Structure 1
Amino acid sequence: MTDPDPFRVIFVCTGNICRSPMAEVVLRALAVQRGLASRVLSRSAGTGDWHLGERADERTLDCLTRRGYDGSAHRARQFSAASFAENDLIVALDRTHERILKAWARSDDDKGKVTLLRAFDPHASSMDVPDPYYAGPPMFDSVLAMIETATRGLFSQLEPAVRAPRTTLRALRRPDQEDLP
């Protein structure tokens, strides 16, 4: 028996050099820690094309390194129409990204894949992860802490499903959504 297809998660921010690469790396690290690296595929993209092919922002890389993560392999890419079909869950880093992604969706199924990262943090005071691009290293550290907390919440919901056979994997729902029969 071969391994089932992994559950594919893509994190989306503006330029794919600060917030979404952080979330991608954090989810990947959680999957590795829990022995699920082959069952969870974590990637990221931006809504814009300003930084295509670039590494993550140096402050992002420094922040990740300080917390024990490796973001050196990251190269920025842009979210595209094909990204809806290529991913099982599309995680927006703020409400602007969520609105853009839902506007780009071609079907209700596409729209249903879009959620906010901070929806998985029960203590979040805002659903938006602030953009640290115009701030200094302390803001990058603060943003990474928010992302770690919310991504742990996301992973705690995702983990039981990815441990189950892929054929029984139900759609991942935000904590505020009711389960459907």
Structure 2
Amino acid sequence: MDKTKILFVCMGNICRSPSAEAVFTGLVKNNGFAKKFEIDSAGTIGYHAGESADRRMQTHATKRGYNLTSISRAVNPDTDFDYFDMIIGMDDENMHALKQMARNDADLKKLYKMTDFSLEMKYSEVPDPYYGGDAGFELVLDLLEDSCQGLLEHVQKQ
């Protein structure tokens, strides 16, 4: 059976998308589905390419048992749209950028917004915590835990 390949995307790939990658990786591992998924993250811009996740995000994620190991990279439309089954943006700005990168209707059909999978939390986006305080990083993790559970349920129904 083929793996479901998921790419999480935020702007710089140092806060939200590497956190989504770690949360979803932990969720599928804890549920015995690790071999059924390939999970990665990227940014709509390459400004932080080659960098680790934001230290503050890492600190908050570690407190919840998540290890943010990914290294930032930019979305590559020529390979990522072909390779991944689902490309999931964190907010409307990321979704707009991803739609601009899409080469055709098949690419557009792979795009989803993270909060579309929310089960309980009522947010339309995963907000960027970069310029905020601790509460912003905690909110991101709360939203990702909720939405990743919904994403797993969505994929299992397919």
Report TM bin, short chain.
Answer: over 0.9
Match of 2:109 among 108, 112, 116: 112
Q: Which has the higher helix share?
A: 2
* Correspondence list, 1:3-152, <5 A: 4-71=1-68, 73-81=69-77, 82-152=79-149
Secondary structure of the residue that 2:74 maps to in structure 1? coil
Residue 160 of structure 1 and its aligned partner are, at CA, apart by 4.4
Show CA shifts across 1:59-102 (max 9, x none).
1110110111111x210011011110110000000011111111
| % identical equivalent positions | 36
Secondary structure of the residue that 2:34 maps to in structure 1? coil
Show CA shifts across 1:5-29 (max 9, x none).
3100000000000000110001111
TM-score, length-scaled by structure 1 = 0.83
Range with greater deviation from structure 2 (120-129 or 144-153)? 120-129
TM-score, length-scaled by structure 2 = 0.95
How many residues align structurally? Answer: 157
Aligned partners of 1:98 and 1:149: how far apart in 2?
19
| 5+ long unaligned stretches in structure 1 | 162-181
Secondary structure of the residue that 2:88 maps to in structure 1? strand
Secondary structure of the residue that 1:90 maps to in structure 2? strand
| 5+ long unaligned stretches in structure 2 | none
Letter in 1 for 2:73: R
Displaced runs of 4+ in structure 1, greater than 3 A? 122-126
Aligned partners of 2:93 and 2:14: how far apart in 1?
17
Aligned partners of 1:101 and 1:108: how far apart in 2?
12
Aligned partners of 1:44 and 1:143: how far apart in 2?
15
Letter in 1 for 2:63: R
Residue 125 of structure 1 and its aligned partner are, at CA, apart by 3.2
Aligned partners of 1:116 and 1:9: how far apart in 2?
12
> Considering only aligned residues, what root-mean-square deviation do their CA atoms show, in Å?
1.2
